Amino acid sequence: MPTQIKICGLSTPETLDAAVDAGASHVGLVHFAKSPRHVSLETAAELRARVPDHVSTVVLVVDPDEALLGAIVGKVRPDIIQFHGREAPEALAVTGAQFDVETWKAVGLGDASKLDRATTYKGCADRLLFDAPPTLLPGGNGESFDWALLDEVDIGMPWGLAGGLTPENVAAAIHRTRAPLVDVSSGVEGAPGVKDAALIRAFCDAVRAADANR
């Protein structure tokens, strides 16, 4: 099965179109004021309207309250809400049921013990995203982690790989981890928060080349 591709942190019509045209399966919109990729719900809704049916829209949030989740679902109508804070497994299960939306949870992997914590989201989240541990921001810091931590991963639920991926290293990441989905943000930017259409294309091309060489 082809590796799925999520281009996260899109903020303009031009770069969103570039991600779709390059073959992304998922496009990500960040609603977190501290991020250089933050977009308002109004802008997110405008971008969402450009996404074709065969591409899934993800809205990334950090420790949201119920009112914000309701506003996101009502205004943006995402396919998926991605949680990037300290949300408990039960909170994701409630969100999914209450708003009829798919839920993803990002988990920073600094050591193998974090994999045990990740298993607590089984049955509550629809997918886990393994990322580098948070530093300045919960995600999008351009830092990777030791992919060897995923050598024997078998959590019994869908997952994806994030953290420091670029057009240059994504093939090696796929070869090492066999990730079913790869998620990139800063690795396809010319400056923080500024996506580069050529890098988006190069990333998607590298993923397809890695799939062809499996």
pLDDT score recorded for residue 9: 97
Note the pLDDT of residue 118.
Answer: 86
Check residue 138 and give its pLDDT. 56
Query: Containing domain of residue 38, as a range?
Result: 4-212
Domains held by the chain: number? 1
- Report field, pTM of the whole predicted structure over 0.95: no
Query: Going residue by residue through the chain (214 aa), what tens digit of pLDDT does each one get?
Result: 999 999 999 999 999 999 999 999 999 999 999 999 999 999 999 999 999 999 999 999 999 999 999 999 999 999 999 999 999 999 999 999 999 999 999 998 877 777 878 889 999 999 999 998 765 555 555 678 889 889 877 788 999 999 999 999 999 999 999 999 999 999 999 999 999 999 999 999 999 999 999 8
The reported pLDDT for the residue numbered 117 is 81
- The CATH number of residue 187's host domain is 3.20.20.70
Task: Enumerate long-range contacts of 41-44, CB under 8 Å, 24 or more apart.
Answer: 41/71, 41/72, 41/75, 41/76, 42/75, 43/11, 44/72, 44/75, 44/76
